[in-house]
Amino acid sequence: MKLSRSLPLGILAALALPAAASAHPGVFTVTQTYRVASNTTCQWPDTTPGTCLATRTQYAVANDGYALSFTESNGVNGSGLLNYRAMAGTWRNTMSAEDKRAYGPAQTDLQAHATCAGIGLDDSASILGWQTAIPADPFFNYVPWQSTSAGIGDVPAEWIAPVKAETGVDLTGMTAAQAEAACIGKSGVYRAADTSAAITGEQIADATRPLQSQITQLQTGIASLTTAKAAVDAQLAAALAPKPRALTLKLSAKKFDQGVAMVTGEPNTAVTVKALLSSANAKKLKIARTISSKSVKIDATGAALVDLGLTKKAAKAIDKHLPQLKVTVEAAAGTAKQTATGTLTR
């Protein structure tokens, strides 16, 4: 139901007031005409009350910045939400809380909450006792019997504790069915709240739709920019990241009787350095091709010196050979590999 089609402009204007101007309940009443649901044959101009058309009371409530509509549905007369529009502010300053609660012109039939009659909650002390937020200005002429707020600035904790103290019933977390059962269990008469509906929903949606559209566009744009920025950040980080040092190998001399190799590369990299004979020379000497093997770790400066001392078997066999042998020195770190050639003299 669109508010603009169901309530007079004066009511709309009152509901549009800022919170400070609606600090006490204002109840606006209108009479709605509707077709009797059980009669499907009546047509214009038949308006016979009770057989074709009927009326019901609707309420628009403004309280402390909240706005709701209610339709009279529980049939309870009086003992409803107090209408402070019927009590001028400066004039009511001389009234007691009880005077305001019982003031006839301020009485309405609107019950925004369920109630339980006949169990000791209908007296003035109980009704005024739970309304401690503004003790001098009671808003309700009843004690609520439900666990949830009606949505007009009311706080369940304010009535749940007094109800429990007076009746022993803790309404916390109860569904409407559970609350009704608890009331009947106390030999009370359960009265459901009048039917409520949020009357500001469509107005708020209409007012915020253009802004929401812009927000959606901005969020989409931000998401796209965030993705692009992440890609640029990754590229920049890759460009600025220090490049790993390539593995290199250099012998101390082309000819040597005791070989020394210098290995450079990424600090803390494990490297295996081997001295290898050719297959033909290894076969002639009847030894393995590997005549020296050392495992080292490149230090923090990015270098390591490796002593290519021969194995005992290789040294013995080579000493019986000709004065010099071609050797290949190989450095391997993971998949990286570097070689250098030299001549071993003995």
Domain assignment present for residue 217? The answer is no
Please tell me whether residues 7 and 135 are part of one structural domain: yes
Which of 199, 220, 237 finishes a domain?
A: 199
Residue 248 has a pLDDT of: 95
Total Cβ atoms within 10 A of residue 262:
15
In the chain, the percentage of residues whose pLDDT exceeds 70 is 90
Choose among 268, 255, 270, 228: nearest CA to 325. 255
Could you list the beta-strand ranges (E) of the chain.
26-35, 53-63, 66-71, 115-117, 189-191, 195-198, 248-251, 255-256, 259-264, 270-277, 290-297, 303-308, 324-333, 336-345
Give the other-Cβ count within 10 Å of 307's Cβ: 12
Residue 271 lies in a domain: yes
Provide Rg for the chain, Cα atoms: 47
Q: Are strands 303-308 and 259-264 parallel, antiparallel or unpaired?
A: antiparallel
Which of 158, 173, 199 terminates a domain? The answer is 199
Pick 281 or 36 by higher pLDDT. Answer: 281
Q: What is the mean pLDDT of residues 244-258?
A: 90
* CATH code of 261's domain: 2.60.40.380
Total domains in the chain come to 2
Confidence of residue 204 (pLDDT cuts 50, 70, 90): low
pLDDT of residue 4: 37
Q: Are residues 60 and 158 in the same domain?
A: yes
What is the spatial distance between Cα 290 and Cα 309, in angstroms, rounded to a whole number?
11
Q: What is the mean pLDDT of residues 125-138?
A: 91
Mean pLDDT, to the nearest integer, of 226-235? 90
Vertex 185, ends 183 and 186: CA angle to 5°?
A: 65
> 277: domain range?
248-345
Rounded Cα gap, residues 70 and 330, in angstroms: 91
Domain assignment present for residue 324? The answer is: yes
Does one domain contain both 10 and 111? yes
Residue 9's pLDDT is: 42
Q: Give dist(CA 213, CA 94) in Å, integer.
A: 51
The torsion of the CA quartet 319, 324, 326, 327, rounded to 10 degrees, works out to 40
Q: What span, in angstroms and rounded, lies between the C-alpha atoms of 308 and 218?
A: 67
pLDDT at 55: 85
* Neighbouring C-alpha atoms within 13 Å toward the C-beta of 269: 24
My answer on whether 113 and 261 are in the same domain is no
Distance of CA 192 to the CA centre of its chain: 35
Provide the pLDDT for residue 206.
Answer: 61
For the ranges 3-7, 37-41, 268-272, the maximum mean pLDDT occurs at 268-272
Q: Are residues 180 and 318 in the same domain?
A: no
Out of 184, 199, 214, a domain closes at 199
Asked whether residue 147 falls in the same domain as residue 284, the answer is: no
Asked whether residue 208 is domain-assigned, the answer is: no
Mean pLDDT over 46-54 rounds to 79
- 61 with 187, same domain: the answer is yes
The mean pLDDT value of the chain amounts to 86
pLDDT score recorded for residue 6: 43
Check: CB of residue 139 under 8 Å from CB of residue 63. Answer: yes
> Which tokens sit at 256?
């040597």
13 and 93 in a single domain? The answer is yes
3 Cβ contact list (under 8 Å, min separation 6): 12, 15, 60, 69, 199, 200, 202, 203
pLDDT band at 5 (very low <50, low <70, confident <90, very high): very low
User: Amino acid identity of 133?
Assistant: A
CB 128 within 8 A of CB 112: no
Tens of pLDDT, residues 301-345: 999 999 988 888 888 888 887 678 899 999 999 999 999 999 988
Nearest-angstrom CA–CA distance, 330 and 249: 8
Task: Check whether residue 195 and residue 261 sit in a common domain.
Answer: no
Judgement on whether residues 267 and 129 belong to the same structural domain of the protein: no
Per-residue tokens: 227? 């993705």
Tell me, yes or no, whether 211 lies in a domain.
Answer: no
What is the average pLDDT across 120-137? 92
Mark whether 192 and 261 lie in a shared domain.
Answer: no
Give residue-wise pLDDT tens across range 164-199: 999 999 999 999 999 999 999 999 999 999 998 765
Q: Is the domain of 119 the same as that of 193?
A: yes
In a domain, 231, yes or no: no
d(C-alpha 6, C-alpha 14), whole Å: 15
Q: Give the range with max mean pLDDT: 116-130, 203-217, 254-268.
A: 116-130
The average pLDDT across 260-280 equals: 94
| Digit-coded pLDDT (tens) for 233-242 | 998 888 888 7
Distance between CA 99 and CA 92 in Å, rounded? 9
Indicate the residue type of 84.
Y
Residue 236 token pair: 């920049």
If you ran DSSP here, which 8-state letter would residue 193 be given?
P
Q: What are phi and psi of 131, to 5 degrees?
A: -90, 70
